[in-house]
Chain A
Amino acid sequence: KNEVEQSPQNLTAQEGEFITINCSYSVGISALHWLQQHPGGGIVSLFMLSSGKKKHGRLIATINIQEKHSSLHITASHPRDSAVYICGGGSNYKLTFGKGTLLTVNP
């Protein structure tokens, strides 16, 4: 069983919608990462969280350590947000990643 689970696996939204992607983990972690991967492979690191909430532009990431759960929110979604979003948790150098959520935002 994967130690990091993401939901949903696929998500289709209309431009402007508020989007939530969830990440649950069963292992103890010191930090949780959110990554974005566009078609063609390039991966960009969005957030690293160890507690609370972080915001960057239209992206918000939250983490609840007690519930072992993190969410990535996108406000006012845009077609350019279409990508695979990956969460990963761990300690030091070893991260365990989820399988990713494929987000498609239609105009």
Chain B
Amino acid sequence: DVKVTQSSRYLVKRTGEKVFLECVQDMDHENMFWYRQDPGLGLRLIYFSYDVKMKEKGDIPEGYSVSREKKERFSLILESASTNQTSMYLCASRLRAGGQETQYFGPGTRLLVL
């Protein structure tokens, strides 16, 4: 079974702190994603990485950066956390094969910024 793990299920940080959210997948997938999920807004893409050291901005990259130094690990960084970044953060990796694709999601990190 594909496994996508995230470093924390719950996290509480203060405004202005630098926050690291880590995501690890064990299936050698090239593509990885960071989303945030907010009530009434649904899932929104923050960043996408299509390979090691490669990234593309999603719909809401402002206030975030990412790092992909190894294939299995994709990190989301909040440079200076703000209260409007309180959200559920979901990481996913993607398998593409034979014209089909499947995204495998991690369990999510619920971040509260005070």
A: which residues have CB within 8 A of B?
A: 2, 31, 33, 35, 40-45, 48, 50, 86, 88, 93-100
Contacts and interface: CB of A to CB of B under 8 A. Distances in A.
Nearest to B41: A99
17 contacts: A35-B105, A41-B90, A41-B108, A44-B105, A45-B104, A50-B99, A86-B42, A93-B48, A93-B50, A93-B56, A93-B94, A94-B45, A94-B48, A94-B59, A97-B42, A97-B43, A99-B42
Interface of B: 31, 33, 40-45, 48, 50, 56, 58-59, 88, 90, 92, 94, 99-105, 107-108, 110
- Classify the secondary structure of A's interface with B: strand
B112 to A, nearest CB: 15
B44 A97 contact: yes
Contacts of A33: 103
Contact of A93 (B33, B42, B105, B108): B33
A100 B105 contact: no
B43 to A, nearest CB: 4
Given A93-B31, A93-B50, A93-B56, A43 B105 contact: yes
